[in-house]
Amino acid sequence: MPILKIARMGHPVLRAPASPVEDVFAPQIRRLLADMRETLADSGGVGLAAPQVHVPLRVILFSVPPSRSEDGQGLPLRAIINPVLTPLSEDKVTGWEGCLSVPGLRGMVPRHTYIRLTGLTEHDEPVDEELRGYAARVVQHEADHLDGILYPARMEDFGAFGYNEELERYPYAVAKEAK
Ligand code: NI
């Protein structure tokens, strides 16, 4: 199982809408899921969408690290095929995001705080659940990839966009006060 090359911002596969998966058990989907898992593990990211590995299909992987979850438990890595998100609240919260396709950078992105996620598991079982907090954020980020949207397009304050090293050196709250 190879580690796949990750498409970077500017590549057209990241700007195009992805197509639905018709057969979750098709050999190429099984291979894609295995390769995406390996690629994500190698990258150290928390989520990955198929277009990021140059495959224009509606497949995402996501997880929630224990350190980012309210209950300290996190969510193990899982795949969702043909995900559909529905906001369950108008409320949005702004938080930092990074993306394997936008390496070295991070930005503050507003996301819905409470969403419904439907789709299929990798075993072709229906998914229908409600997500909040960091899980809701990660899924919105990954699902956006399936519609050709990268997180900078969701940003409202470009002062809160920069290289990780600089933002660690000069925390954004300080930069904001200095304006
Ligand atoms: Ni991303």
Q: What is the mean pLDDT of each run of 10 residues along the chain (179 residues)?
A: 94 98 98 98 96 98 90 92 97 96 97 98 98 96 98 95 94 59
CA of 172 to the centre of ligand 1 (A): 21
The catalytic residues are 142
The pLDDT value recorded for residue 179 is: 41
Contacts 24+ apart (CB under 8 A), 31-35: 31/1, 32/57, 32/59, 33/59, 33/61, 33/79, 33/122, 34/1, 35/1, 35/2, 35/3, 35/4
The pLDDT value recorded for residue 174 is: 52
Q: Are 135 and 64 in contact (CB under 8 A)?
A: yes
Q: Structural domain boundaries of the chain?
A: 12-177
Question: 12-177 has which CATH code?
Answer: 3.90.45.10
Strands annotated E in the chain:
47-49, 59-64, 75-87, 92-97, 105-112, 114-120, 126-132, 161-163
CA of 160 to the centre of ligand 1 (A): 17
CA of 71 to the centre of ligand 1 (A): 24
The pLDDT value recorded for residue 128 is: 98
The pLDDT value recorded for residue 24 is: 98
Neighbours of ion ligand 1 (CB under 5 A): 99
